[in-house]
Structure 1
């Protein structure tokens, strides 16, 4: 029997993780959960998001019946991953910013963590820094404004280079980007605009994300089947999705052709 994996994010950023998992584990089936009713997560109160997640998964798990859930959102992983693991008797895999591999490849000793306000403010990030990159400087770069731009690109397929350039200039006004030689993409939306970020960044850097590492972790936890094709069964959202037809070209890459709204408010 095929194993069923549920991928969760506040928006479409988690599809960058879904792509890596589906490539590595083609024998599984997939569903995607998009909490668009609270998008973006990076500027919402912690208590609101945690209680919302418990309500959402209490509804979703009986409907989707996943064998494993991936929290493909850095903000959510740092905030309520442990709570979900305690509440539900199935494996949950979260996103860990790639600070450890960044420390292994940086030449300047200065790493940039490009993430949402919520992620860069977590003590969890400080712990990762102390554990895995104690000899490196970690520059926390507020990329909150990039989340919506990445979401727009994923929905409408349009490059927003000039808008992304403006955000990079704003980030550069607050941090010395020229000292950074390695950037950790600390939001699953950001791989979708990696090319635009590279084009707009003031120096050549190495760019890292966690997608492949998450896929490897899922593979170790999920017994594999013999099938060689994957099929993403359904897209769940928490609010009406007026962009459904615009999203179809993106979602059909993963076999998603059905949509269901889950009301939790």
Structure 2
């Protein structure tokens, strides 16, 4: 009697909200043999409102629970704020796990710009992180880089994804600082340094004062994940899951997950807090 072959381990995609669906979409194309678990820490959203140390502890505690529950092959952290803050600590805490991070696409922007004026549209946490400034120093030293930390754009994106579209003026206020004109040269590339933002790309193009190249990081993240995740024969029979730390993402979000072919998983509980749902 031939033994049944075990399903390949799943790949876990983590984000503070639902913006990481842009990365999930690309990863599915490149890793069709794997199942996916999409985890949204919606109870902690938005991460930009947190102090660094409590947020870092929260993320590490959450991953202790996620690994015990799902035993993934690899983790894609589809959130620049989470990875630039906690990526090194996660790798030190879980040395046997493959982590694929999200960082601002400053290097490709510096390679593609013609004017030398680049803007990085990010969350306030990503803008202030030393990791981001190191990327600029390493790869964009000859460019004029404008860092724009939007306080509200991730929230606006979450509303937009769910079908609650806000007035143009609210979006324009957030992206206007990206556009710099200086002595005849002006911004020609804007790095979307938050996985929520590509969902708004068409809005940005429509409202921009002049055409620019908007760099979406999702495809590059998925390609890196494919390089790190072993390719295996066969195909997983497990359903792709969506898991929310709040336990109650709301009707519109549930419908969105269904549209992405995701079944709703059980709420995430903290092992280190005696089974209490993540606050």
For structure 2, the 5+ residue unaligned runs are: 1-6, 269-276
Q: 1:202 to 1:135 in 2, by over 3 A?
A: same
Aligned: 1:66 with 2:77:
no
Q: Which residue of 2 aligns with 1:196?
A: 203
- Residue 100 of structure 1 and its aligned partner are, at CA, apart by 0.7
* Match of residue 101, structure 2, among 94, 111, 115: 94
8 Å Cα contact 1:3-1:29 kept in structure 2:
yes
Q: 1:44 to 1:230 in 2, by over 3 A?
A: farther
Say which SS state the counterpart of residue 156 (structure 1) adopts: coil
Q: Which residue of 2 aligns with 1:40?
A: 46
Q: Deviations over 1:235-263 (max 9, x none)?
A: 222213241x3123432344212232122
Say which SS state the counterpart of residue 152 (structure 1) adopts: helix
For structure 1, the 5+ residue unaligned runs are: none
Q: 1:68 to 1:155 in 2, by over 3 A?
A: same
Distance 2:212 2:255 in 1: 31
More helix by share: 1
Aligned: 1:27 with 2:33:
yes
Aligned: 1:215 with 2:229:
no
8 Å Cα contact 1:149-1:160 kept in structure 2:
no
Q: Which residue of 1 aligns with 2:4?
A: none
- Residue 264 of structure 1 and its aligned partner are, at CA, apart by 3.0
Say which SS state the counterpart of residue 18 (structure 2) adopts: coil
Deviates more, 1:106-115 or 1:194-203: 194-203
8 Å Cα contact 2:117-2:180 kept in structure 1:
no
Distance 1:57 1:48 in 2: 14
Q: Which residue of 1 aligns with 2:267?
A: 261
Q: 1:229 to 1:205 in 2, by over 3 A?
A: farther
- Residue 213 of structure 1 and its aligned partner are, at CA, apart by 1.1
Aligned: 1:132 with 2:139:
yes
Q: Which residue of 2 aligns with 1:119?
A: 126
8 Å Cα contact 2:120-2:193 kept in structure 1:
yes
- Residue 3 of structure 1 and its aligned partner are, at CA, apart by 3.3
Q: 1:147 to 1:221 in 2, by over 3 A?
A: same
Distance 2:84 2:239 in 1: 26
Q: When the two structures are superposed, what TM-score results if normalisation uses the length of structure 1?
A: 0.91
- Residue 49 of structure 1 and its aligned partner are, at CA, apart by 0.6
Aligned: 1:176 with 2:167:
no
8 Å Cα contact 1:231-1:254 kept in structure 2:
no
Deviates more, 1:209-218 or 1:72-81: 209-218
Distance 2:169 2:265 in 1: 33
Distance 2:237 2:202 in 1: 27
Distance 1:10 1:240 in 2: 14
Q: Which residue of 2 aligns with 1:205?
A: 212
- Residue 210 of structure 1 and its aligned partner are, at CA, apart by 1.4
- Residue 227 of structure 1 and its aligned partner are, at CA, apart by 4.2
Q: Which residues of 2 match residues 230-245 of structure 1 at below 5 A? A: 233-243=240-250, 245=251
Give the structure, 1 or 2, with the largest relative contact order (CA under 8 Å, sep 6 or more).
1
Q: 1:9 to 1:94 in 2, by over 3 A?
A: same
Say which SS state the counterpart of residue 39 (structure 1) adopts: coil
Distance 2:99 2:60 in 1: 13
Q: Would you say how many aligned residue pairs link Structure 1 and Structure 2? A: 261
